[in-house]
Structure 1
């Protein structure tokens, strides 16, 4: 029963997320939703860990949104593909953590570019959660 409950919850969440996005002309649905949301979950994990250092309360909000994406991933992941999806999450987390680490550099221009890029990637994910 637990698996069915998780599936139904994630399906309802996916429908709730997809409806407003489909109605907006400025947000294109990703070609591969499973990989897109796996990358978003990885990025949110990196952001949450970064926020533990710089903004504790923000990390709680990120944690909640990440949980929603993880529920969605659970529903979207075909049986036997869990390791592949986890690999995508890990790759995205490592890349985003490296990007966030660049925001601590002494070079102001490099720091600003990294911050803008991290924000743009975060906004891509958030566009599907708003």
Structure 2
């Protein structure tokens, strides 16, 4: 019996079984697409003011994501999806304003890179 308990106590199995799991949280595809649609809306509006030539391309990507989002949205969840879009649009618009109207040049460059990174990730959802 003493040998059994020594083997049990020295075995890695109890340690592994008791170890916490650090799995990455699953991303909700519906929320990802909704967020991207919102971000692209802000990007398109910003481009209307400052870079009109790029606005049409952004509008086309946004329209494609909105079509996908409409197909993905389950009945009864449209309000929540719209809320995600609005929140993302506000966040992207804040980054874009921060990049354009910021007296702190270092922070403005950071905001511009962050905004571009987020839009790039959204554009990568589509095969173009």
Q: Which category describes the TM-score, using the shorter chain as reference length?
A: 0.7 to 0.9
C-alpha distance in 2 between matches for 1:126 and 1:71: 14
Segments of structure 1 that go 5 or more residues without pairing to the other structure are: 1-29
1:125 aligns with 2:114: no
- The aligned runs of 1:47-62 (5 Å cut-off) are 47-62=43-58
Select which of 104, 111, 114 maps to 1:107.
Answer: 104
C-alpha distance in 2 between matches for 1:75 and 1:129: 15
C-alpha distance in 2 between matches for 1:125 and 1:65: 9
Name the Cα RMSD after superposition. Answer: 1.0
- The aligned runs of 1:74-113 (5 Å cut-off) are 74-104=70-100, 105-113=102-110
C-alpha distance in 1 between matches for 2:30 and 2:104: 36
1:38 aligns with 2:34: yes
TM-score, length basis structure 2: 0.76
Deviation at 1:31? Answer: 2.2
TM-score, length basis structure 1: 0.75
C-alpha distance in 2 between matches for 1:83 and 1:31: 19
State the structure with bigger RCO (CA 8 A, min sep 6), 1 or 2: 1
Partner residue in 2 for 1:4? none
What is the aligned residue count? 101
Deviation at 1:98? Answer: 0.5
